[in-house]
Structure 1
Amino acid sequence: MAKPPSKRKKAISASSSDDTPPNNLTQEENPATATITVTAVEVPELTEQEISDRLHLERKVERAFFEAGKALAQLRDRRLYRSTHRTFEEYCRDRFGYTHRRVNYLIAGSVVFDNIVTGTNCSQNEEVDETGTNCSQNGEVDEMGTNCSQNEEVDEMRTNCSQNEEVDKTRPNLSRILPTNEGQVRPLAKLEPQQQVKVWQRAVQEAGGKVPSARIVTDVVQKIMERTRIPNTYQLGEVCQILAKDNPELRGKGGCWAIVSVVNNFSCSVRVWDGEYAVGLQHLKSYDYLPSECEQMQVICDRISRVYSRGLEESVQKFLESLGKLNRAYLTALEEKLLKVLESEIRD
């Protein structure tokens, strides 16, 4: 019968080296010889399979960006970091030197990459089948456009794509031109999957049938927006920075982050910690946060607003206002702890 996974139990033991209690005291009565044991919270150890999977995924993180994003998502979702680190953010910083935002960009970039591969394959009527053979004329390919070669290593075809800006010089094919770094797909993250495919194909054409740079992709996105005559490109839920400039109505709000709640033709209604304001487009600057980061900021905004509206001491209000000027999409451990304390105060 297979032995179930063990659990770690941390204990601290301290005792005296003298076996004879002085002054005729029993061991229980004598603190010098008493043994103290402190048991920590039990954490399930990684199984042998999980250890193997973690090492395999860590190797993938150090390769192409789309493989890194997929591997990081698995490491996060399966909590394969738990044997060495308390949080996923700490693990990524210590193991790979990645910031919280860098990890989010890689994960989002891998999703965009798959959308481009899948969508481009489906648009190529003459060279498409269910296994994505249009991405390889000399090997077996899975539906993600990856050269499997009948083994676990699924990156051979994609690695070829990343090492060659022009996959087939004699016969350019949009389905063969794939992104080679995360920056090239970052401008596409906020678009719908179908739009991502169209913008990428257009960018490939702009680059002369080669892998387009991030600048070219960004230019194509902007051209499409101009062509559709959308004066306001902000989206509901997007996080922006307020640029007060010479606007007296925004006094005290310069540098604060705000969440777009209403999109008008040439202005937006935005939420900050103490209310809602109508702000012209010239007074807003997007933080270009990922959708997941925007959702995090909405939750933080709601929490700060609830506490701020209770009119606590001035020092507390100043602390909440400082949270309203953060240039990151998360709270530190200390900020989170302080905010929870304040939330408990208003519930009592």
Structure 2
Amino acid sequence: MNESPPLETPVLLSKPQLSGQELPVSPDQLTYDEERDRSHLELKIDKAFSKAESIFREAVAALKEIRDRRLYRNTQATFEEYCNIRFRFSRRRPYQLIDAAVVLENLQECAQPVHILPDKESQCREIARLKDPQDRREAWAEITSEGKIAPIKEIKSIVERIKEKSFTPYTKRSEYQVGDVVKVKARGSSTLRPYDGYWGIVDDITDYFYHICISVKNEVIGCKDSEMKRVDLDKECRDNIKSISDRILALAMRDDLETPALGIIDALSRKTVFTEGDLWFLAKAEEWHGISQ
């Protein structure tokens, strides 16, 4: 856990007394009440991450409120920058904590009172892998069935079992079809990292994977739905990109491909809108390597 700055009692300026009409407030300027709220919320976060993990529930709720109300806007341009400067959080850390706050909200929305709640972000992180709030509540009921929170290894096992039970095979879904153009999002996958940001075409669909043809790599890779994003194109653009995919594939299959041509097709494989200049370079690479369109 990151070491937090020393705790300080929030210092607030006296609320200004205005007579007559109030002066206009800039959208990025906090009101007196917002300044007061932000100071108290920050104090909750400081206490949680410098002392007891058991009060982390207050801290994650406070962080979420700062984000939702944009109480950082008078000092930093983005929430990520604010968290890094104020709490020394990495870029991912505040979002993990906010996910934990959402999980806590989901668990407390149950019709019957929940007497035991997560007291660590790592517990919430596992529960957050279940997207349906009802699945989250079902998992948590099992995790605390013995009157205490199960060990993290058991939490992972319970979540995985419920996730598999509620999983709908991709062949029975309608989000993606064969022929759709998608962009690969590697996220934390080391296997997909070499393809991150490339577009490809859905070549086949199985129960657990979408098979994506990546022309520039001359490979077909397996992706889950969370590891790709549809590229919305009209029919003309979709037909155009499929044609370009075939042309890139023909180049990528050559053993004598030179560095400039590699650079051209790599650049084209990260774009979904092509200029006349892009197509001119592609045609020149084909001409140089003796490939007829």
Q: What is the TM-score of this pair, normalised by structure 1? A: 0.47
Of 45, 50, 69, 2:29 maps to 45
Aligned AA (1:3): E
Equivalent positions of 1:306-345 (< 5 A) are 315=263, 318=266
| Aligned equivalent of 1:202 | 142
Of 218, 223, 229, 1:298 maps to 229
What's the offset of the Cα at 1:272?
6.4
Gaps of 5+ in 2: 1-19, 49-54, 177-183, 249-259, 279-293
Deviations 1:267-318 (A, max 9, x none): 32348696997545xxx6x89x8xxxx7xx738x779x99x96999865765
From the superposition, tell whether residues 86 and 272 of structure 1 become closer, same or farther in structure 2 (CA, over 3 Å): farther
Distance 2:264 2:95 in 1: 32
Identity of aligned residues (%): 28
* 2:96–2:125 Cα contact (<8 Å) kept: yes
1:269 pairs with 2:208: no
Greater radius of gyration (CA): 1
1:109 pairs with 2:100: yes
1:192 pairs with 2:132: yes
| Aligned equivalent of 2:56 | 65
Aligned AA (2:67): R
1:85 pairs with 2:79: no
Distance 1:81 1:316 in 2: 42
From the superposition, tell whether residues 55 and 270 of structure 1 become closer, same or farther in structure 2 (CA, over 3 Å): farther
Aligned AA (2:229): Q
What's the offset of the Cα at 1:5?
4.7
Deviations 1:95-119 (A, max 9, x none): 0111221111111111111111221
Distance 1:70 1:320 in 2: 44
From the superposition, tell whether residues 227 and 318 of structure 1 become closer, same or farther in structure 2 (CA, over 3 Å): closer
Distance 2:133 2:75 in 1: 36
Distance 1:254 1:212 in 2: 34
What's the offset of the Cα at 1:227?
6.2
What's the offset of the Cα at 1:57?
1.8
Distance 1:255 1:220 in 2: 32
Distance 1:50 1:77 in 2: 12
Gaps of 5+ in 1: 8-42, 125-133, 135-174, 244-252, 325-338
From the superposition, tell whether residues 180 and 78 of structure 1 become closer, same or farther in structure 2 (CA, over 3 Å): same
Distance 1:273 1:48 in 2: 57
| Aligned equivalent of 2:115 | 176
From the superposition, tell whether residues 276 and 108 of structure 1 become closer, same or farther in structure 2 (CA, over 3 Å): farther
| Aligned equivalent of 1:212 | 150
Q: Secondary structure at the match of 1:298?
A: strand
Distance 1:85 1:97 in 2: 14
Distance 1:210 1:270 in 2: 44
Aligned AA (2:106): N
Distance 1:313 1:278 in 2: 21
Deviations 1:27-60 (A, max 9, x none): xxxxxxxxxxxxxxxx743221121121122123
Distance 1:75 1:204 in 2: 30
What's the offset of the Cα at 1:242?
6.7
